[in-house]
Amino acid sequence: MMNNNNYFTDKVVWITGASSGIGKAMARALDTVGARLILSARNENALKQIIDECQNADNHQILAFDLTEQDKLASVAKKAWKLNGKIDVLFNNGGISQRSLGIDTDLAVDRKVMEVDYFAHITITKALLPKLIEQKSGLVVNISSVAGKVGVPLRTAYSAAKHALIGFMDSLRAEVAPYGIRVVNVCPGFVQTNISVNAVSGDMSQHGKMDDEIAQGIPVDEFIQILLKKLSGNKDEIIIAKGLGKLAYQMRRLLPNVYFRLLPKIYKRNKA
């Protein structure tokens, strides 16, 4: 069990998807407690701006790359390790969402979402594992989604990728526990980020709209504080949701067949 007030102090923390949303808020929060950050995303200028705004900017480094470039990810992980000679915490956070009916979604979209939200994270994680096993410590935090626990209309590709990530990491957790490595899956509900705005539609175009549920969701800084507090416990799966997201998770877990019958009615009502 860790104390979230000091666990991250002087820890080397690598955050993917750090240029916005949850990743950006996490970087700001960990900067204030003295973590040594490696920030990654495609937008190098956005990462530089985040570091410039940090209290301890000299402690942090940038490693810009694209999660879709699968053939480069293993070498990127090696570069990340060499920056400080170790990595204590990996936040697998980068990703993309989708908003379209399954029947209207090109297979190219399904493949892209799976590549970014699933394969990229397991590639990076597997590249780091030998070093984490050698140092006999490490924390791997995976930002999944409540959509990785329940099926959600208009998110067939996204939900599938997040389910896959949880399944892989649940299995990996048991394998690496003897080496002192902890694996935690985090499932946010609706959090106030631009995830729906940046989501892809069925033809790979940008969705460009803010979901009402997300606009009314948990403020991202509040989400980060809840997450850091929950990471100080010993839970391997962390659900942070309220409202419809929390209800959907609880119903799917406790009353799955009731949930399956209600979901089409809720979807039909929301379309009206």
Question: Which CATH number belongs to the domain containing residue 106 in this structure?
Answer: 3.40.50.720
Would you say residue 132 lies in a domain?
A: yes
* Beta carbons of 128 and 90 less than 8 angstroms apart: yes
Would you say residue 129 lies in a domain?
A: yes
Mean pLDDT throughout 12-29? 98
pLDDT at 1 over 60: no
pLDDT digits (tens, 9 = 90+) for 81-95: 999 999 999 999 999
d(CA 57, CA 130): 29
User: Which of 7, 118, 158, 259 is the catalytic position?
Assistant: 158
The answer to whether 158 is a known catalytic residue is yes
Would you say residue 23 lies in a domain?
A: yes
Would you say residue 20 lies in a domain?
A: yes
Would you say residue 32 lies in a domain?
A: yes
Q: Which domain holds residue 72?
A: 12-244
Which residues sit opposite 91 in a β-bridge? Answer: 15, 141
Banded pLDDT at 272 (limits 50, 70, 90): very low
Banded pLDDT at 5 (limits 50, 70, 90): low
Q: How many domains does the chain have?
A: 1
The predicted structure's pLDDT at residue 124: 98
Would you say residue 267 lies in a domain?
A: no
Would you say residue 206 lies in a domain?
A: yes
Would you say residue 93 lies in a domain?
A: yes
Banded pLDDT at 170 (limits 50, 70, 90): very high
Residues, the chain, total? 272
Contacts with 106 (C-beta within 8 Å, 6 or more apart), sequence order: 202, 203, 204
pTM above 0.85, yes or no: yes
pLDDT digits (tens, 9 = 90+) for 197-213: 999 999 999 999 999 99
